[in-house]
Amino acid sequence: MDVFDRAALGPLTLRNRVIKAATFEGMATGALVSDDLIAFHRAHAAGGVGMTTVAYCAVAPEGRTQRHQLWMRPDALPGLRRLTDAVHAAGAAASAQLGHAGPVANARSTRLPALAPTASFNPQAMRLTRRATVADIERITAAHASAARLAVEAGFDAVEIHLGHNYFASSFLSPRLNKRRDEYGGSLANRAKVALGAARAVRGAVGDRIAILAKLNMDDGVPGGLWLDESLQVARWLERDGSLDALELTAGSSLLNPMYLFRGDAPVAEFAATFKQPVRLGLRLAGGRFIRAYPYREAYLLESARQFRAALKLPLVLLGGISERATMDLAMAEGFEFVAMARALLREPDLINRLRERPGTRSLCVHCNKCMPTIFTGTHCVLAREANEEKDAVQR
């Protein structure tokens, strides 16, 4: 199996096995598709990926992390259709990441209550989250189905259900965040109902018309959070249900430990600069406790992901530290059907084309993670922008 072979993903055939992972672009205007967002995904499509993933398409207005974020509704349809047309014209498939931010939502920005399994405090918003009612859960589950139907109408080839990073579904999976005593709390079977319900709702809404993936935490990276043994069982249940065509394996908590997924440098000062007081001061003084640095190495999630590969027949997407052809080849040799890339492609959107032509090509990404704070103003690689500005200055 070669990473540049054509590959089946449910009813879809991709031109290769490389997926541009969902990285929040910060390019929506009025919670709608912008020309910048279209150009961003067109560049990755033209750069050679098999499929590019639009992040983050909230299924409900309170499910956005901030108010300018895209959410799936009829008003968004014309822009979404322009985006998928542009991606298809460049030869790639398009996927929409569907989800609800839950306790990660910034209620100060969205001006709507953030929902969580159990009421808690969000330091970013300086607000309390509200305990989701059963009616909220049912509404959000139905909203996943509606969003998936809209994605089909907009011309997407796939949807990716966000079950990770302590967003809504993931927060219910977490023993640390979910202290409920009703049918959605306590046992793993109860805590998994939101995640399983969202996947079933999407499959019921779109059938086999498009491919369905889900992004699932292997572990939350925090004491008392979801750990690998329980995540494996959730993955088995997802496979049993037949709701998914593939599972993308991730880790970490956007709420409690975001850098657990993004190994490399921890840009505390850059993150602090994006916030207003008093959050800015708090991050400057104590940000190192929240934005922690973890050493980078290629395929850093592989060891955990191997356990899922051994337990499941479901196609799997390996994420985390994939920036070299040798790492892609290793993933294929280990039995993973796809690889997902993010930061390396932010640095060089055309990296896939060059890796196919010259396998020894080295990524220019240095894992400084300074791209992460740019999500609030339009995601980009800081080093690439600086290099382009220097080049333009010389030419002038």
Q: Is 184 marked active-site?
A: no
Q: Could you tell me whether strands 115-116 and 211-217 are parallel, antiparallel, or unpaired per DSSP bridges?
A: unpaired
The rounded distance, in Å, linking the Cα atoms of 260 and 170 is: 15
The rounded distance, in Å, linking the Cα atoms of 31 and 51 is: 23
Q: Which of 167, 184, 260, 296 is catalytic?
A: 167
- Token pair, residue 83, equals 């985006």
Cis peptide before 223, with omega less than 30 degrees from 0? no
- Token pair, residue 178, equals 């979910």
Judge whether 245 and 10 are in contact, CB under 8 Å.
yes
Q: Could you tell me whether strands 51-58 and 93-99 are parallel, antiparallel, or unpaired per DSSP bridges?
A: parallel
Question: Catalytic positions, please?
Answer: 167
